[in-house]
């Protein structure tokens, strides 16, 4: 359908060590997973990140922010520095001195995994960035694989009697004014004017929460007003368009870091989504957004403009009855569902015209997205509780309403706040989403076996295949990697070999699978891939 991928920043908490340094704890999570993969693969699968092509200050509107004008949190092109002071604050100086293996300098903050993903410390959270995939079902699969990766690290840390156990939560706020993101990325042709993207996406982004919001107890950034709302993230957005992701968050983010051939592609960096555990909500989030981008590229996006998009986003989130209307620039007042139906109709029409939804000649995914989208919108309009097995905010709400009814709890009750938080605990025995899944109260689209495989294996149809296979096959010789490169250090060759991977749809199994099957050594592999090394000059 389209190249896409997800990023999840996990909430991190050590109940037995309140106040522990979050960056330090996050590094422990990465470290724990590195230890696990080292056990699994002969060469050691941890690989350092190559920062060469990171450009977080490039703005899609055509300029670059001065470094001095940027918020420090925007400088994501530098490895995070975990200095001795931070370590000492977190664990005490004696421990730092006693435990030589955990010196700040040697703490791993960044890994590339055998499934093509990146696992790293982002500010004060562990983050999993999925490998590039080409359809929403694969996006759900490799996103859920990240939860398994995080779970494996949590288990490893819990088994260490020396360290406090660490819990990870797939949510987006601590309900104390802090939010952390779950981002989506979509590959687009650079030829599409950015203004068209903003116009076409804004009404869609303000309203798609009704199908993919994860639900939140509490209203306002600090959650202090009692109540329940559709989206985890809505109250944290303050601007319509902008470069920032940590302050003054915009509905449309302009970070222009294509991680690919820059004159051909743009990577649309979407920061407005909620982290989803519900597979159907996650599937629809990726699938419908990809289809709206196709509408924009075809010049057929609905001509809608919201009067005040940020206010509309929040009003819609605050109304679980779905009856709130928001004003369009032409004066009409419409509900979120009205807007979603307008986008659905346009997407269905374009899919039919271009045959991508055709049973025989189609792409095999668009029709499935359209069917789910239509059925969920229909249920939301007629009988919302019936959509609770697929729509995450309704599933969480059903559970909360159960507690309210049985125990007579008010919305401000701490127990409801705990249900909201623990919904997203990634441990299946503690996470309430997983308890609902086990009782078949949540629909599955991908089975557990496929998710477990995706935690280890890369997708076959993007450059993530090449990246992942390099790491799992030649891990010892891979000294760095990023979205658009893999760097080898092969004994006997004087300099590092950097293999660029700037075309997201190359490096696939069909293009490179044979090479990996044929070569058992990095030397032979690179020799065939890059040609013979230049003859030494005499």
Partner 1 sequence: MAAQEQQQPQSRDTEIEDEVPEAPPAAPEAQASAATQGVDDLLDEIDGVLESNAEEFVRAFVQKGGQ
Q: What string marks each residue from 364 to 403 as x (binds partner 1 by CB under 8 A) or -?
A: ------------------xxxx------------xx-xxx
Q: What string marks each residue from 148 to 177 as x (binds partner 1 by CB under 8 A) or -?
A: ---------------------x---xxxx-
Residue 23 Cβ vs partner 1, minimum distance, rounded to whole Å: 8
- How far, in Å, are 4, 312, 529 from residue 293 at the CA level? 12, 21, 35
Count of residues engaged in binding partner 1, rule: CB under 8 A? 65
Give the pair of three-digit tokens for residue 90.
């977190």
| From 71, 99, 122, 274, the catalytic residue | 122
Residue 349 within binding range of partner 1, rule CB under 8 A: no
Interface positions, 8-37, toward partner 1 (CB under 8 A): 9, 11-13, 15, 18, 22-23
Residue 418 Cβ vs partner 1, minimum distance, rounded to whole Å: 4
Least Cα distance to 207 among 300, 298, 284 occurs for 284
Residue 238 within binding range of partner 1, rule CB under 8 A: yes
Q: Are 130 and 145 spatial neighbours (Cβ–Cβ below 8 Å)?
A: yes
Q: How far apart are CA 268 and CA 184, in angstroms?
A: 8
Residue 66 within binding range of partner 1, rule CB under 8 A: no
Residue given tokens 């450009």 in the structure block: 55
Listing DSSP states for 343-364 in one string gives HHHHHHHHHHHTTTT-TTTS-S
Rounded (10°) CA dihedral 365, 370, 376, 381? 170
Residue 125 within binding range of partner 1, rule CB under 8 A: yes
Q: How far apart are CA 59 and CA 70, in angstroms?
A: 12
Q: How far apart are CA 145 and CA 130, in angstroms?
A: 8
Q: How far apart are CA 184 and CA 130, in angstroms?
A: 10
Residue 335 within binding range of partner 1, rule CB under 8 A: no
Of 6, 141, 320, 389, the one binding partner 1 (CB under 8 A) is 320
Of 30, 391, 421, 486, the one binding partner 1 (CB under 8 A) is 421
Up-side HSE of residue 284: CA atoms within 13 Å toward CB? 29
122 is annotated as an active-site residue? yes
Least Cα distance to 166 among 147, 180, 153 occurs for 153
Of 227, 381, 513, 533, the one binding partner 1 (CB under 8 A) is 227
Least Cα distance to 514 among 479, 481, 465, 477 occurs for 465
Q: Which residues bind partner 1 (CB under 8 A)?
A: 9, 11-13, 15, 18, 22-23, 73, 122-125, 169, 173-176, 178-181, 183, 220, 227, 235, 238, 245-246, 271, 308, 310-311, 314-315, 318-321, 323-324, 382-385, 398-399, 401-403, 406, 414-415, 417-419, 421-422, 429-430, 432, 435-436, 439, 441
Query: What are the catalytic residues?
Result: 122
């Amino acid at each position: 359908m389209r190249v896409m991928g997800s990023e999840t920043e996990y909430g991190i908490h050590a109940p037995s060590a309140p106040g522990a340094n979050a960056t330090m704890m996050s590094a422990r999570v990465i470290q724990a997973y590195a230890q696990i993969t080292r056990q699994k693969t002969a060469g050691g699968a941890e690989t350092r990140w190559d920062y060469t092509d990171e450009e977080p200050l490039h703005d899609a509107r055509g300029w670059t922010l001065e470094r001095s004008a940027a918020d420090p949190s925007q400088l994501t092109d530098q490895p995070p520095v975990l200095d001795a002071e931070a370590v000492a604050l977190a664990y005490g100086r004696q421990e730092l001195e006693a435990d030589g293996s955990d010196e700040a300098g040697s703490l791993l903050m960044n890994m590339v995994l055998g499934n093509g993903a990146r696992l790293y410390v982002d500010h004060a959270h562990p983050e999993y960035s999925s490998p590039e995939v080409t359809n929403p079902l694969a996006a759900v699969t490799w996103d859920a694989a990240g939860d398994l990766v995080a779970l494996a690290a949590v288990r490893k840390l819990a088994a260490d009697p020396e360290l406090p156990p660490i819990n990870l939560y797939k949510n987006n706020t601590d309900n104390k004014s802090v939010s952390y993101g779950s981002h989506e990325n979509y590959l687009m042709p650079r030829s599409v004017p950015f203004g068209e993207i903003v116009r076409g996406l804004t009404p869609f982004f303000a309203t798609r929460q009704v199908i993919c919001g994860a639900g939140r107890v509490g209203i306002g950034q600090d959650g202090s007003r009692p109540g329940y709302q559709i989206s985890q993230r809505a109250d944290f957005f303050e601007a319509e368009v902008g470069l920032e992701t940590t302050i003054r968050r915009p509905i449309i983010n302009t970070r222009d870091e294509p991680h690919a051939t820059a004159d051909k592609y743009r990577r649309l960096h979407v920061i407005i989504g909620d982290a989803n555990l519900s597979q159907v909500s996650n599937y629809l989030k990726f699938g419908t957004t990809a289809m709206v981008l196709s509408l924009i590229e075809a010049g057929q996006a609905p001509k809608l403009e919201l009067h005040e998009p940020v206010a509309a986003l929040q009003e819609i989130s605050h109304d679980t009855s779905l009856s709130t209307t928001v004003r369009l620039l032409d004066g009409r007042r419409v509900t979120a569902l009205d807007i979603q139906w307008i986008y659905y109709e346009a997407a269905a029409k374009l899919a039919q015209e271009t045959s991508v939804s055709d049973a025989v000649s189609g792409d095999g995914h668009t029709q499935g997205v359209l069917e789910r989208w239509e059925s969920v919108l229909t249920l939301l309009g007629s009988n919302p509780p019936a959509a609770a097995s697929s729509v995450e905010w309704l599933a969480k709400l059903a559970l909360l309403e159960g507690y309210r009814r049985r125990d007579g709890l008010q919305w401000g009750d701490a127990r409801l706040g705990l249900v909201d938080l623990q919904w997203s605990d990634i441990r299946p025995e503690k996470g309430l989403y997983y308890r609902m899944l086990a009782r078949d109260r949540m629909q599955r689209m991908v089975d557990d076996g496929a998710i477990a495989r995706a935690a280890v294996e890369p997708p076959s149809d993007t450059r993530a295949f090449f990246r992942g296979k390099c790491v799992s096959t030649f891990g010892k010789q891979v000294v760095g990697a990023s979205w658009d490169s893999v760097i080898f250090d092969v004994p006997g060759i004087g300099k590092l070999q950097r293999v660029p991977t700037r075309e997201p749809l190359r490096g696939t199994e069909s293009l490179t699978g044979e090479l990996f099957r044929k070569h058992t050594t990095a030397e032979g592999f690179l020799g065939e891939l890059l040609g013979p090394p230049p003859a030494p000059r005499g």
